[in-house]
Amino acid sequence: MRSQEQFLDLHGESILLYDPTLGSLKAQPALDKMWKGLFSMFPDYRIRKVRSFGQEDWVCLGVEESGTLKGPIHAGPREIPATGKSFKIPSSIIARIEHGRIGEVRIHFDVLGLMAQLGLGP
């Protein structure tokens, strides 16, 4: 696993990130906040590359994400308590490289499937 500093260094200062649960994030401070929130909820969070390919300045990754919900989820004014349940989901990450760093990221995954595995779904 990379350190938070190494993770941020991979991304440009004006990074744009699109996530189905967080919406749009812009710039490294927002990415830093996302990192801290992710690891406060899922201290054992892991991401494993399954496959990757690229064309010109675009890279596509098929990954498997996993973790255990050990901290609360902060959803606006609501706080959802930790369930202690684990998840494992496939995700797709599409990234654009500019000037040797990641300039844009689009993340896609099954949100309802994730919530169900965490004991939070319908």
DSSP string, 50-76: EEEEEETTEEEEEEEEEEE--S-EEET
DSSP 45: -
pLDDT at 77: 86
Which string of DSSP letters, residue by residue, matches 17-35? EEETTTEEEESHHHHHHHH
The residues that bridge with 94 in the sheet, in sequence order, are: 60, 106
What pTM, to 2 d.p., does this model score?
A: 0.88
pLDDT of residue 2: 60
pLDDT score of 106 more than 90? yes
Predicted confidence (pLDDT) per residue in 53-84, tens digit: 999 999 999 999 999 999 999 877 889 999 99
Domains of the chain (ranges plus CATH)? 4-117 (3.10.450.50)
What residues contact residue 40 under an 8 Å CB cut-off, 6+ apart?
71
